[in-house]
Amino acid sequence: MSKPAFTFPGQGSQAVGMGRDLADNFVEAREVFAEVDDALGLKLSAIMFEGPEDTLRLTENAQPALMATSMAVIRVLEARGVTVAGAASYVAGHSLGEYSALCAAGTFSLSDTARLLQIRGRAMQQAVPVGQGAMAALLGLEMDDVKAIAAEAAQGEVCDVANDNSPGQVVVSGNLAAIERAIELAKGKGAKRALALPVSAPFHCALMAPAAEAMREALAAVEMKAPVVPVVSNVLARPISDPGEIRNRLVEQVTGMVRWTESVSWLAKDAGVSELYELGTGKVLTGLAKRIDPGLTAQAVGTAEDIEALIAARG
């Protein structure tokens, strides 16, 4: 039996109050939040615990905040004998969650990960003027249909497939007008729903090229170690461990598609993983896992209660 895989949530899972329960109950969590605050020169933990929501939702805040909560869970588990190397066979994260996964597996230090995500969030936000880009979820269509819709909707603009989240849940990203055309085309082709997403920038599409360059520069400047377990890369949907390749794939990931369906399918079918633990805020990936492969058991671990239950279950 393969050991479980640890997964780490992406943007959209943030919520005011995130991490507070962990900080109230565990000194290790408080230490994580303090280190992230110091690294950013910003009282991010106060924004996480108390809001305001619109400040937390800013990409440059949401990304390190989600990572910090995931790492707080990891540090609490480690202090109780549940380590990534000992308990997990692989790590994987959705978009920014890939950085959380790499931090958990020891590739980046916590402070470097926080700074990288602040840079990433800022660069993604600045790549496209507000109001010029958009993303939309197209639900109930096959991937080939979505690719065809994106190609037809582009009309000389950008309309890329951004996230393959689960069968029947695919997200497109690009210029506002192109995304609006994609929504109408999807409705005409039998989508169950096609709706614009409340995001501040069109992530994971060609418009993010300036942010990819910013990350190339930022990643070149930080120390990277081989992860203690392989990371399943978003853009490859297979595991990698070489720091040089990880760096290159993280640059590609800014403009590339998050191949989450394929990543989870690889874990279940090729690696024989039967259990996923989603570490951090929310239960988005836990919900997607069941839709991708009904044979998987998935569990979210984000609160003191969840952590105690996991430790008790491991005996």
Return the CATH number at 137: 3.30.70.250
Rounded CA gap, 180 and 199, in Å? 14
Catalytic residue among 13, 45, 70, 95: 95
pTM reported for the whole predicted model: 0.97
Average pLDDT over residues 295-306: 97
Average pLDDT over residues 159-185: 98
Cα 312 to Cα 28, 80, 303, 308, distances in angstroms: 19, 11, 14, 6
Rounded CA gap, 51 and 40, in Å? 17
Mean pLDDT of the chain: 97
Residues 54 and 38 reside in one and the same domain: yes
Domain boundary at 199, 223, 253, which?
Answer: 199
pLDDT at 164: 98
pLDDT at 198: 86
> How many Å is the maximal CA-CA distance in the chain?
58
Rounded CA gap, 27 and 198, in Å? 35
Closest of 162, 223, 199 to residue 62, by C-alpha: 199
Residue with tokens 């070149």: 220
Domain boundary at 165, 199, 233, which?
Answer: 199
Average pLDDT over residues 145-150: 98
Residues 109 and 247 reside in one and the same domain: yes
Strands 169-175 and 133-139: antiparallel
Residues 216 and 106 reside in one and the same domain: yes
In sequence order, the 6+-apart residues with CB closer than 8 A to the CB of 93 are 7, 8, 9, 10, 99, 100, 101, 102, 231, 234
Is-contact 9 101, C-beta < 8 A? Answer: no
Confidence of residue 118 (pLDDT cuts 50, 70, 90): very high
Instruction: Characterize 255-272 residue by residue with b for buried, 16 or more Cβ atoms within 10 angstroms of its Cβ, and e for exposed.
Output: bbbbbbbbbbbbbbeebe
Give the domain extent around 18: 5-127+207-313
pLDDT at 1: 62
Residues 249 and 306 reside in one and the same domain: yes
**Catalytic: 94?**
no
Is-contact 58 14, C-beta < 8 A? Answer: no
Catalytic residue among 13, 173, 204, 263: 204
Confidence of residue 27 (pLDDT cuts 50, 70, 90): very high
Structure confidence by residue, pLDDT tens digits, 193-237: 999 998 889 999 999 999 999 999 999 999 999 999 999 999 999
Percentage of the chain beyond pLDDT 70 is 99
Structure confidence by residue, pLDDT tens digits, 52-111: 999 999 999 999 999 999 999 999 999 999 999 999 999 999 999 999 999 999 999 999
